[in-house]
A and B are shown apart, each in its own frame.
Chain A
Amino acid sequence: MNERLSDYLLGELEGTDRERFEAELARDPALAAEAERLRPVVTRLESLDRSAWELPEAPALPPITPREPAAAPERERRPAWWRRALVVRPLAAATLAVVLLALGVGAGLLLGGDGGDGGDDGAAGGRVVALDPVEPLGGAASGTATISAKDGRATVNVRGLPPSAKGDFYELWLLNTPDDLVSLGSFRVPASGDADVTVPLPANPDAFAALDVSVEPPDGNPAHSSRSVLRAPLAPA
């Protein structure tokens, strides 16, 4: 190895020493090629963000062992009073969202696809759970949900869902059994297949076995359609 190579690359050769080395480079194509090969690396190192030299510790992995999934609810199992009390349909959701935003509450049901959480700190401090596809409708879809009991809301990010067909919508649920579930709100998925939605939590999520996403037809029936596409087990925080 030519010891002068590192001096040259690092700018530690000056005056006649530098001229002599450059003459040597001109006579030695292999040395010149090596200098040209290494020069971009030096440039990148010189411009490297200082924080990149001190990588932070990585947080622990999130829990990924799924619990026994809750059974999909059957349609028309809930009493009529319960449906009326807890289920929020698209029109009502949109109205509620407008009212809440107008009041500065900053929370609502976001319909129409690209969503947003309306918060400056995003999901900071929440508990993150993975939404896995439920066969046969889930396909390659995936998602995560960040549940913030402190803020009383959940942020759900879904990927790879079929875009909402005309009139259809997706609905979020806290789910224990077919007779024990709470609707959190509904949303539509645009052509991208991705959607980010933030919903208020009207119930303690720790009291439920799963967070469920179902696809719902525009039939005016507020019950779960039994057509789940994504689901996450909810282990207590």
Chain B
Amino acid sequence: MAAVPAVRSPSPAERRLADGLGRRDEAALGDLHALCGRTVMGFLVRTLGNRATAEDVFQQVFLEAWQRGPTYDPGRASPLTWIMAIARSRGIDQLRKRVPEPRDPAGSLALLEGEGRGDAVVDELIERWRFAHLLGQLPEQEADVLRRRFYAGATQTEIADSTGMPLGTVKMRMVQGLGRLRDMLDAEERGA
């Protein structure tokens, strides 16, 4: 675990996004929504287990991003890392609210954190959804072979048969997709 985040070199698109958020430009919030909205929503639905509640918290997350926009520094975190940190906080808040009343004097937080539904679990989910977000950034051809292999469970030969692609092409796209994912993971983790 890296204790001190390295200073990262944001991409031009990230800088534009940060500038827009800093100016409270509504279009920038729209860009952030387009870039990360589905990942944030997926994380919240999975974490909170209820779509209606997740939608409420989703709105809180983006309102908070709007409010905090001028403080976002792309040199410290990618947009995804930044907004997922907000989603994590609001998700944990929501989980804490669900502890039935009356409250246990020993602390409802202990119930969440001691029974496997606490911060560590949420952090694990965050990591999975960050990864899922990166999958969504892959070129479609590479994402497709990865999806067929790791989601549908097809072998490379079966992928070639079902798509009509030469087997060599399937293998090439598989390795390219894995390599691109690794590069994106490295870039994210350097900046996280």
- Chain A residues within CB distance 8 Å of chain B: 1, 3, 5-7, 9-10, 12, 34, 37-38, 40-42, 44-46, 48-53, 55-59, 61-62, 64-65, 101, 106, 116-126, 128-130, 132, 140, 142, 144, 146, 157, 159, 196
With A48-B150, A51-B46, A61-B29 as known contacts, state yes or no: A56 contacts B41, CB within 8 Å.
yes
**Apart from A12-B156, A55-B132: 15 A-B pairs, beta carbons within 8 A:** A5-B175, A6-B171, A6-B174, A12-B155, A52-B128, A52-B135, A53-B132, A58-B38, A64-B66, A116-B97, A116-B99, A124-B53, A128-B60, A142-B68, A157-B60
> Across the interface, do A122 and B98 meet the contact criterion of CB distance under 8 Å?
yes
Minimum CB–CB distance for B159 against chain A, Å: 11
- Chain B residues within CB distance 8 Å of chain A: 26, 29-30, 33, 37-42, 45-46, 50-53, 55-60, 62-64, 66-68, 71, 90, 93-94, 96-103, 108, 128-129, 131-132, 135-136, 146-147, 149-151, 155-156, 168, 171-172, 174-175, 178-179, 181-182, 185
With A41-B181, A48-B150, A116-B97 as known contacts, state yes or no: A124 contacts B56, CB within 8 Å.
yes
Taking CB as reference atom, which chain A residue is nearest B44? A56
Which of B57, B66, B171 is the most central at the interface, judged by chain A CB atoms within 10 Å of its CB? B171
User: Chain B residues with Cβ under 8 A from A123's Cβ?
Assistant: 53, 56
> Across the interface, do B63 and A44 meet the contact criterion of CB distance under 8 Å?
no
Minimum CB–CB distance for A164 against chain B, Å: 20
Which of B40, B136, B150 is the most central at the interface, judged by chain A CB atoms within 10 Å of its CB? B150
> Across the interface, do B93 and A101 meet the contact criterion of CB distance under 8 Å?
no
Minimum CB–CB distance for B82 against chain A, Å: 15
> Across the interface, do B168 and A49 meet the contact criterion of CB distance under 8 Å?
no
> Across the interface, do B178 and A116 meet the contact criterion of CB distance under 8 Å?
no
Minimum CB–CB distance for B64 against chain A, Å: 6
27 of the cross-chain contacts (CB-CB < 8 Å) are A1-B172, A6-B174, A7-B156, A7-B171, A38-B178, A38-B182, A44-B131, A45-B146, A53-B132, A53-B135, A61-B59, A106-B101, A116-B103, A117-B97, A119-B97, A120-B98, A120-B100, A122-B56, A122-B94, A123-B53, A125-B52, A128-B63, A140-B71, A144-B59, A144-B63, A157-B60, A196-B93
User: Chain B residues with Cβ under 8 A from A3's Cβ?
Assistant: 168, 171-172
> Across the interface, do B132 and A38 meet the contact criterion of CB distance under 8 Å?
no
Please report the C-alpha to C-alpha distance between residue A184 and residue B56 in the assembled complex, in whole angstroms: 22
Complex A-B, nearest 5 residue pairs according to Cβ-Cβ distance, in ascending order: A58-B37, A52-B132, A55-B38, A142-B67, A130-B63
